[in-house]
Every structure is written in structure tokens, then in C-alpha cells.
Amino acid sequence: MEKNTEIEVSKAACGKCGTVLQMYLRASAYSVVCSSCGAIHNCYNGEPELTNHIVGKAADSHISVGIRGTLKGIPYLVTGYVYKKENGTNYCWEEYVLFNPVHGQAYLSQFDGHWMCLCEMADIPSATGLVATHDGSTYNLYSKYKSKILSARGEFVYKIDPSETPIVEEYIRPGYLVSKERTKDYATWYKGEYIQPSVIKSSFQLASVPETKGVGMIQPFLGKFSQEGLRKVFIFLFIFWSLLQFYFTFASREEIVFEQPFSITDSLHGKEINSRSFELKGGTCNAEIQVHTNVQNNWMCTAVTLVNEKTGDIFDVGLEAEYYYGYTDGESWSEGTGWVSKVVSQVPEGTYYMVITPEKPTSVPVVNITVTVIRDVFIMSNGLIVLALLSIYPIYYHFKKNKFEKQRWYNSDYSPYENNDEDNY
């Protein structure tokens, strides 16, 4: 990791241990902290003056102070590093102070391998109860705690006071956050944005970044894909599907090409009856065979074979109609219908006849049936299958997102999920 040579570094000795303090901001900084002993110096007059305050010695940071990197198109110099913890817990995180003389300061925060970039807000959100609103967006309270500085190094434009334990309130909208840091002397709002670890790695030319653990507080679901973008894709697909259905409904000819009544007596029961011949036109497409019966409180079963007179190709279907009705316990009821149909797909054009093999109950002397063939019908089921296939991903997305959100809120005292203690966290 090479340090940028354009920036002039001034050096001075730490007033406590004598270690060289490297200063980039010099008098523009309020405090400079020794990387060796943690002694805090005031440096607003250009030269470091030792104070009575001291912080812990900073452990190795992932990004070195003095490194330059470009984030969100803005070149930054890393001027400070702070290691903080939530008071009363073991949660610790890193904060890097990024400096640009034109665009001002930004802060990079890293916890469990998840990074976010924060900037001080020029205005302040409106916060009431568990919600904060800013620029028309709503943020939900995720955490409220006191933070404490464990260690630090580098320069800071504000006074570093390790005895301070500011109250921090964090409100999130996946991908973004607004947070308030408050002491008796200041109440500062920051706006943060999730930064992919790979972006941090390339921006600061790091050899490695810490591995991510779990779901980050503001980590967006599906990384770069926005929920709004996915929603638009599915709306487009649904409209496309609807238009396609509309087209096929109107494009289907639904032409009755054959209709013949038969009276099925005991002598025809189980016997083969040949129909008259009929033409199926229009290339290869489907044909619907309908059988209408007059059965009442009974059944009628018919095997129909469609036979191509020229090629001998056959298409078999079995059709069973049953219709029952009655009056029980003061209520009328009915079940089934007296007619039945089946669609035969991919029937080539040509001259056909049908072999009908009816079966009826012996208790009924005669059953009248009418066999109808309709060429090129619209099949709703095909459309429903497409719709079902299109729905698989949204349903999968919904469940995956739900699980992701539960993981996100697992560490929060303000989780909107009731059962937040699944085993796999």
C-alpha cells in the first residue's frame, strides 16, 4: 500500500512517548492521537500539545491512515481511525475518517465485514417514536445505544474525548441509514449508505477485507438489485403474459366441425360405434371432443378414438360424465355435470372419423349423447402453467427476502419480527 506523495506530511514527536506523529491536516485538525501510546494532543495551533486524555493503543486497522482512495467518485485521504464499542456489550466496530478539502469529511464504518459510508447531514430528519423521515423516505429504528472509544490514531477535526459516551440512534432503510449521535453538547445526524466490501477493497487497493458475517444492518437484499427494479420486471412479465393470453383468445378459431347425436341402448353398451367422417383443417392444432349426455343421478362413460382415415393415426380419449342431485336436510345439492370434454393436442389436418365405445349403467334403458368436435380451441391451462412458472421466482424471492430480513433484525431490540430466534443465525 503506497501513500500518496502529493500530500505534504508534517512530523512531530508525541509529547508522551516520542513516537513520530504524522500530520496531514495539521492546524485544520483539532486532535491528533499517537498511534503508539494513544496520547491525545490538541493541534489546532499547528503544533501538537499533549492533553491529559489518552485512549487505548490502536490495533492494526484494515485501511492505513494516510492512504488515498476514491469512493462514490470522490477522492479521499484517510486521516483518522477509531475503534469503538457499544457500552455494556461486546459489539465493536471500526470507523475511518475520510477527508476531502472540497467535499468535506466522510466516515467509513466496518462491522462484521459489512461497510457503510456516512456523511454529516446538512439538515436533520424528523424522528418520532420508532420512525425517522427524511426527504420523503422512512427509516425504522434499529438500535439505540451508548458508544465508547476504545482506541484511535490519526487526526480529527473535532475534539477526541474518550470519556464521552454519546447516545447513538440508528434508523435504517435497507441500503441506507440515518443516525443521530448525541451528547450534552451536540446532536449530529449522519446519513449512511451500504458499500460492498469488494468496492472498499478496490477503492483503497487493499490486499484483503474482512469476511462478512451474517446480514449487515443496512445490507440491501440481493446486493445490487433493487426491489423496485425486480417489481418492474414482474409487472412487465405479467402485462406481457396478459397480452399474450388476450391474443390467443382472439386468434383461436373455435370452429364446430362435427356434431352427431347417439342413443345408447343396452344393445350398444360396450360396443364400438363409428361416426360419420369429418374434415379437420388449418394445419396441426388442437381439437376438443365434447360429449353431452342426459344422465340424471347417474353416470355415462365413453371411450372415443379419433381415427385419421388416410394415415390410420389414432388419438384416444376417455370421457366420463356423472351428474347427481338431491335434497337433504332441507337443502338442495348437486354434484358433477351431464357433459364432459377433453382437448387433444397436435392433431394434423385431414379426414377423420370417431370410434365411440359407450358404457352406461344397466339400470337406465337409454342414454342420449351428443358428440361434438371443436377445432382450434383456446386452452386456459397453458396460460396458467406459464403464470405458475412466472410466479415461482416471486414466491421464492418473497420467502428468501423474509428470511434475510429476519436475519437483519436478529440483533435489534426493535425487530418487527415476532419469532426472531431461528437456529441458523
Partner 1 sequence: MLSVIVNKSVCPSCSATHQLSIALPLFAGCVSCGCVYFVDKEKVTTKTDLKAMPVQPFSIISVGTKGKYKGTEFEVIGHIRSIGSGAISNEWLMKMATGLLLWLCECGFNYSVFDPRPVKLTQDHIRHIKAGEWMSVENKDYTVTDLSKQVEFQMEGQLPEECFNNEPYFEYNAIDIKDKGLLSVCIFDKNTIEGFRGQSISLNSLELSGMDKFKSWI
Taking CB under 8 A as the criterion, the residue among 26, 41, 84, 406 binding partner 1 is 26
The Cα 286–Cα 191 span in angstroms is 61
Q: How far is the CB of 205 from partner 1 (least distance, A)?
A: 17
Q: How far is the CB of 189 from partner 1 (least distance, A)?
A: 8
The Cα 29–Cα 23 span in angstroms is 9
- Cell digits for 166? 454519546
The Cα 36–Cα 381 span in angstroms is 74
Instruction: Choose the binding region for partner 1 from 94-102, 204-212, 253-261, 279-287 (rule: CB under 8 A).
Output: 94-102
Instruction: Choose the binding region for partner 1 from 93-101, 238-246, 328-336, 410-418 (rule: CB under 8 A).
Output: 93-101
Of 64 and 188, which has the nearer Cβ to partner 1? 188
Of 10 and 308, which has the nearer Cβ to partner 1? 10
Taking CB under 8 A as the criterion, the residue among 83, 96, 99, 194 binding partner 1 is 99
CA 270 to chain CA centroid, Å, is 58
Q: How far is the CB of 123 from partner 1 (least distance, A)?
A: 4
Site for partner 1 in 58-87 (CB under 8 A): 75
**Is 157 a residue that touches partner 1 (CB under 8 A)?**
yes
The Cα 82–Cα 55 span in angstroms is 10
Of 184 and 310, which has the nearer Cβ to partner 1? 184
Of 77 and 347, which has the nearer Cβ to partner 1? 77
DSSP H or E run through 198? helix 197-203
Binding mask 126-155 for partner 1 (x = CB under 8 A): x-----------------------------
Check: CB of residue 151 under 8 Å from CB of residue 55: yes
Of 190 and 262, which has the nearer Cβ to partner 1? 190
Taking CB under 8 A as the criterion, the residue among 5, 11, 52, 122 binding partner 1 is 122
The Cα 95–Cα 82 span in angstroms is 5
Work out the burial of residue 282: count CB atoms within 10 Å of its CB; fewer than 13 is exposed, 13-18 middle, 19 or more buried.
exposed
Taking CB under 8 A as the criterion, the residue among 123, 211, 421, 423 binding partner 1 is 123
Site for partner 1 in 182-221 (CB under 8 A): 182-188
**Is 45 a residue that touches partner 1 (CB under 8 A)?**
yes
User: What type of residue sits at position 338?
Assistant: G
Of 104 and 270, which has the nearer Cβ to partner 1? 104
Instruction: Choose the binding region for partner 1 from 97-105, 292-300, 303-311, 371-379 (rule: CB under 8 A).
Output: 97-105
The Cα 116–Cα 98 span in angstroms is 12
The Cα 46–Cα 38 span in angstroms is 19
308 CB-side CA count, 13 A: 14
Size of the site for partner 1 (CB under 8 A): 37
DSSP state of 19: P
Beta-carbon neighbour count of residue 172 at 10 Å? Answer: 25
The Cα 91–Cα 93 span in angstroms is 7
Binding mask 222-251 for partner 1 (x = CB under 8 A): ------------------------------
Residue 246, by phi and psi: left (phi above 0), alpha (psi -120 to 50) or beta? alpha
Check: CB of residue 78 under 8 Å from CB of residue 64: yes
Of 47 and 405, which has the nearer Cβ to partner 1? 47
Of 15 and 214, which has the nearer Cβ to partner 1? 15
Cα angle 175-180-186, degrees, rounded to a multiple of 5: 150
Instruction: Choose the binding region for partner 1 from 33-41, 103-111, 230-238, 253-261 (rule: CB under 8 A).
Output: 103-111
User: What type of residue sits at position 195?
Assistant: I
The Cα 309–Cα 314 span in angstroms is 9
**Is 423 a residue that touches partner 1 (CB under 8 A)?**
no
Q: How far is the CB of 181 from partner 1 (least distance, A)?
A: 10
The Cα 221–Cα 171 span in angstroms is 17
Of 79 and 290, which has the nearer Cβ to partner 1? 79
The Cα 120–Cα 105 span in angstroms is 8
Q: How far is the CB of 104 from partner 1 (least distance, A)?
A: 4
Of 127 and 303, which has the nearer Cβ to partner 1? 127
Of 103 and 146, which has the nearer Cβ to partner 1? 103
Q: How far is the CB of 185 from partner 1 (least distance, A)?
A: 5
Contact residues for partner 1 (CB under 8 A)?
Answer: 6, 8, 24-28, 30, 44-47, 75, 99-105, 120, 122-124, 126, 157-159, 161, 180, 182-188
